[in-house]
Amino acid sequence: MYSGLEHKLRKGLHSKRFVKDLILLDSTDSTNNHGLSLKEKKEGMVILARKQIGGRGRDGRLWHSVEDKSIAMSIIIDYPKSNDSITFVPLLSANAIVDTLDFFGLNSKIKWPNDVLINSKKVSGVLCESSFIKNYSNFIIVGIGINVNLNSEDFIKDGIDYVIKPTSLKMETSKNFSLEDIATTLLNNFSKWIFEYKTNNYDNILKFWKNNWFDEGKQVSVIKNGKLITGTAKDINLQGHLVLQMEDGLEVINSGELKI
Ligand code: BTN
């Protein structure tokens, strides 16, 4: 399945510099769990599984992957020196996914902060988690799931109550895609965006992100401090936070849950 990946990555313009170690698993509960549990972590390690049976999504939700039909990948990066820039990690990850889908001829949009949608349905999601040593974060594990060759029955069978209707590349195009080619392109694009991040090109990250923003101008509901608030998605500020236009002014959302 992923036998040619290493060779292809070495040829990739960006990935040959960033990807240091490729861990290919036949089966795992979650590639993020695998990454978190590694004793010797280092930036540029990538964990990729053919089968993921306990995939985790954001806010404690389940993430459903199907053997040899889904991308289940985790990428380890150093924890940023400044906490302020950490918001950009989910944003740049979404950029890498949008770039990748675009390469395969698919137009996608980003729902804040990092759900990737095709025709308003969710095709990919990102779960970023920190690993700690003695209460200090030392690495971020960026977990990326992409629904590639799944059929609608694959989603019906899984019994998950989806917040956003799911889709796959196959369902949108009636075509099958090579997981290896998608993984290669994704890692090359991720490496490109992480380079922008490391060189403090936050403007570039934000510009691309905003150009592909799904929610802009739409009514969105967010849970902030346990309270549901609704406003119009107006902007993403320079810190990567969502700015909502409320009846009585602007509200900045640092983290939270966008509901449709
Ligand atoms: C979300 O949209 O809620 C995030 C989904 C993230 C899923 C990926 S699949 C690879 C990695 N391993 C996991 O357990 N989760 C992430």
Comparing 14 with 177, the larger pLDDT belongs to 177
Comparing 141 with 241, the larger pLDDT belongs to 141
Share of the chain above pLDDT 90, in %: 73
Ligand 1 neighbour 113 (Cβ under 6 A): no
Looking at the structure, tell me whether residues 43 and 119 fall in a common domain: yes
Residue 83 has pLDDT above 60, yes or no: yes
Structural domain count of the chain: 2
Looking at the structure, tell me whether residues 105 and 170 fall in a common domain: yes
> What's the 74 CA to ligand 1 centre distance in angstroms?
8
Looking at the structure, tell me whether residues 197 and 225 fall in a common domain: no
Looking at the structure, tell me whether residues 237 and 133 fall in a common domain: no
Looking at the structure, tell me whether residues 224 and 191 fall in a common domain: no
Helices and strands (H, E) in the chain, number of each type:
8, 12
**Model-level pTM?**
0.94
> What's the 164 CA to ligand 1 centre distance in angstroms?
15
Looking at the structure, tell me whether residues 175 and 203 fall in a common domain: yes
Residue 131 has pLDDT above 50, yes or no: yes
Taking the C-alpha atoms of residue 61 and residue 143, their distance in angstroms, rounded to an integer, is 14
Of 211, 231, 247, which one is at a domain's C-terminal end? 211
Query: Which mutation among 67, 140, 144, 167 tests ligand 1's pocket best, with the greatest number of atoms within 8 A of CB?
Result: 144
Looking at the structure, tell me whether residues 69 and 169 fall in a common domain: yes
Looking at the structure, tell me whether residues 51 and 153 fall in a common domain: yes
Residue 90: cis peptide before it, omega within 30 degrees of 0: no
Looking at the structure, tell me whether residues 195 and 134 fall in a common domain: yes
Angle at 154 between CA 129 and CA 170, to 5 degrees: 85
- Residue 175 per-residue DSSP state: -
Residue 228 has pLDDT above 60, yes or no: yes
Atom of ligand 1 nearest to the CA of 115: 2
Residue 243 has pLDDT above 80, yes or no: yes
Q: Please, how many CA atoms are within 13 Å of residue 147, restricted to the half-sphere of its CB?
A: 26
CATH of the domain at 16: 3.30.930.10
Looking at the structure, tell me whether residues 159 and 227 fall in a common domain: no
Residue 260 has pLDDT above 50, yes or no: no
Atom of ligand 1 nearest to the CA of 54: 14
Q: C-alpha distances in angstroms, 204 versus 9, 17, 47?
A: 24, 20, 27
Average pLDDT over the chain reads: 92
Q: Residue 9 has what pLDDT?
A: 86
Residue 179 has pLDDT above 80, yes or no: yes
Looking at the structure, tell me whether residues 176 and 250 fall in a common domain: no
Average pLDDT estimate for 165-189: 97
Structural domain including 127 reads 5-211
Atom of ligand 1 nearest to the CA of 58: 3
Residue 202 has pLDDT above 70, yes or no: yes
Looking at the structure, tell me whether residues 136 and 231 fall in a common domain: no
